[in-house]
Structure 1
Amino acid sequence: MRAEEAIDAVTLAATAAGLPAQDATVVRVGENGVVLLPSAGVLARVVPRVVEDRDPRWEIEVAVWLASRQVPVVHPTRPEPIVVERYVVSLWEYLPDSRPADLVTLAKCLRRLHAVDIPTNLLPSLSPFDNFEERLQVGVGLDIGDRVFLRQLRDQLSARSGPLRNSR
């Protein structure tokens, strides 16, 4: 995804949500995009509609569920993402004073997260190499050498993780 695409998608989504977008600023772009809307106090996440395993609805549901269990999370500002042309945009609260957590704070958050009973219908089982090729194809800025390196790394990691996956 290019920066201009992310800005355009977020501007359209913000307009649809009645939010100001004149000061939209790209925070990060890659497989998806993150755009800050400072005037609205919102951070927008932009995902191409073709990436099916990246459904923002699921991310919103998980965040709401975790918050209901007192797990510290960033809250969505809307219960549903906004579909804009080729993209799906989810809107999240922006925490302007946030900073990386120290180890004690991180440990407390992880302890809280791991203490929560996770319902089987909320979180799918993770298979880290699913859709690898599709994601590699949409990777903007990757040359042939990068793709070869990433495929080799995937093969090495997959071989090493095989026994772990089979032991569950």
Structure 2
Amino acid sequence: MATLREAPDDVPRASRIARVIDTAATERGILARACNRVGIDPGVADNAGLLAYGENAVFALPQAGIVARIARGPHLLDRARREIEVARWLRDQDFPTVRPAEQVPAQPVSVSERPVTFWELLEPADRDPDVKDLARLLKRLHALPRPPFALPAREPLALVETWLDSADAAVHLDDRRFLLDRKAELLDAYAAVRPVLEPGVVHGDALLRNVGVHGGRPLLLDLENVSDDLRELDLILTPMAAVRYGLPDGAVEKFVRKYGFDVTSWDGYPVLRAVRELAATAWVAQHVPGNPAAEDEFAHRVRCLRTGDTTSRWHSF
């Protein structure tokens, strides 16, 4: 781990912006090498469109009819393997979700210790998803039997320190200490939570942004956090998102009616929401270097956690 400094301001903003440009070029270079490794013309990487850059750099390669996901580091290799295994199992269950690219049977591949997976390119979205789509998909997912392979527990705070480390000097040491102390407190509270629903297969990141409506039906996207854990972990995110990110009026009520359980009435809800908000704050840290908007958002979220502010709006990344 690189040495932490007391303040992020000793890293010039111009240097941080240059680092982002270098990062984009690096991701595209890894994409070209990964394509070459699996027999896809590496030239398609030149015209690949960057769809998202979070835990993964996600590129659309329309010429090849696929999407490539490049994970941030070797610590995510096992998760990438499991994501492919889960996707194939869900395919066999006829569950509506994304499918691994058939032309790349052996995956993930590693390039510069970065796990890369390939997926079928979806048709253009028919419409925006709504919370009823999400509730239906979760109800169907939660009704599935456990798969014939082991799934880990969700462990929603497992990567907090990794995300903070990736920000290096861009995160103030006092904020890092506060978040790690908060993590320790919440791990104890989380261990004491007693569910009311039967634990089992969960999506693990069941936000509305992980639903797409393609080819006439809603699909559950981003399977990297599928786990065997508390079903309530999937259900807390809609009421949390209604407060933090904004959902249309009545969205939570529609979600509850469609799924059939109101997680906000459960005594474990405040703990699971606090756990998720800490994780969501630490997650933004990895975007802070070279990104003034992420820097401001991270500071805002930390301020909310420090002051116990549970109502202020957050901005999505």
TM-score > 0.5, shorter chain as reference: yes
Letter in 2 for 1:66: L
TM-score when scaled to structure 1? 0.80
After superposing the two structures, state which structure 1 stretch, 148-157 or 52-61, moved more.
148-157
Q: Does 1:36 align with 2:60?
A: yes
Higher helix share: 2
TM-score when scaled to structure 2? 0.46
Report SS of the residue matched to 1:160. helix
User: In structure 1, how many angstroms separate the alpha carbons of the residues matched to 2:27 and 2:146?
Assistant: 33
Letter in 2 for 1:129: L
Q: Structure 1 residues 25 and 156 mapped into 2: Cα distance closer, same or farther (>3 Å)? A: farther
Q: Does 1:3 align with 2:3?
A: no
Give the C-alpha shift of residue 48 in structure 1.
3.8
Give the C-alpha shift of residue 12 in structure 1.
1.1
RMSD across aligned C-alpha pairs, in angstroms? 3.0
How do residues 34-113 of structure 1 correspond to structure 2 at under 5 angstroms?
Answer: 34-52=58-76, 54-77=78-101, 78-79=104-105, 80-98=107-125, 100-113=128-141
Letter in 2 for 1:85: S
Matched with 2:142 is 114
User: In structure 1, how many angstroms separate the alpha carbons of the residues matched to 2:192 and 2:108?
Assistant: 38
Q: How many residues are matched?
A: 168
User: In structure 2, how many angstroms separate the alpha carbons of the residues matched to 1:52 and 1:21?
Assistant: 22
Report SS of the residue matched to 2:183. helix
Give the C-alpha shift of residue 47 in structure 1.
1.5
Letter in 1 for 2:35: A
User: In structure 2, how many angstroms separate the alpha carbons of the residues matched to 1:121 and 1:12?
Assistant: 31
Letter in 2 for 1:3: A
Give the C-alpha shift of residue 166 in structure 1.
9.8
Identity %: 32
- Superimposed CA distance per residue, residues 16-40 of structure 1 (whole angstroms, 9 cap, x where no aligned partner): 2314322122222244321221222
- Structure number with higher relative contact order (C-alpha < 8 Å, ≥ 6 residues apart): 2
Give the C-alpha shift of residue 97 in structure 1.
1.4
Contact 1:6 1:26 survives alignment (8 Å): no
Letter in 2 for 1:97: P
Q: Which runs of 5+ in 2 are unaligned?
A: 1-19, 200-317
Q: Structure 1 residues 27 and 150 mapped into 2: Cα distance closer, same or farther (>3 Å)? A: farther
Give the C-alpha shift of residue 59 in structure 1.
0.4
User: In structure 2, how many angstroms separate the alpha carbons of the residues matched to 1:117 and 1:158?
Assistant: 28
Q: Does 1:24 align with 2:53?
A: no
Give the C-alpha shift of residue 131 in structure 1.
4.3
Report SS of the residue matched to 2:50. strand
